[in-house]
Amino acid sequence: MHVFTYGSLMYRQVWDRVVAGGYQARAATIRGFVRVRVGNEVYPALLRGPAQSAVPGVLYLDVSASDLATLDRFEDAGKTYGRIPVSVELDDASALDACAYLFLHPDRVDGSPWEPERFEAEGLQHFVNTYLRDRAP
C-alpha cells in the first residue's frame, strides 16, 4: 500500500526511524483536506477541508504490511489518527490510491496552517528527541 505523508513523516530522519523498509518516495498532493497545527504540538493534523484545498506531501510507495502496522501504532491509529483511503496526485498529473492519517480530534487544533519550513527550523529536532528517542537512527 502507498502511504501519503504530510507532516513529520515527510522527513527521512523521522520516517527511517519509524519503519524498517526502504521505500521510494515521490512528491505528491491530496485535495479536499487541510493541514493545520495541533495545539502546542510541533506535528500537524490532517482534516477534511474544502474541495479546492490542497495539501502537499510525500508519498511512500509499496509500504509493507508490517511497516503499515508499525505506522498505525506510531500514529495511535483509531485513537489519535485514523488511516483513510485517499487519491494522491503526483507531479506528472497522474493519480494513485494511497492511505493517509486523518486527525480524529478537530477540537484540539488551533486552525492555523502547519508550515514545513517552521517545523524544519523549530520543531524537527524537538520531535525526534521527544517522540523518537527510543528509536535508533
**CATH number, position 35:** 3.10.490.10
For 7-137, where are the alpha helices, taking DSSP H only? Answer: 12-18, 65-74, 116-118, 124-131
pTM of this prediction exceeds 0.85: yes
pLDDT per residue, tens digit, the chain (137 aa), is 999 999 999 999 999 999 999 999 999 999 999 999 999 899 999 999 999 999 999 999 999 999 999 999 999 999 999 999 999 999 999 999 999 999 999 999 998 999 999 999 999 999 999 999 887 66
Q: Can you tell me whether residue 95 is helix, strand or coil? A: strand
CA–CA dist 60, 124 (Å, integer):
19
Q: Degrees (nearest 5) of the Cα angle 105, 110, 114? A: 95
- In a domain, residue 115? The reply is yes
- In a domain, residue 87? The reply is yes
CA–CA dist 70, 68 (Å, integer):
5
- In a domain, residue 62? The reply is yes
Domain containing 100 equals 3-131
Q: Are residues 3 and 19 in contact, defined by beta-carbon separation less than 8 angstroms?
A: no
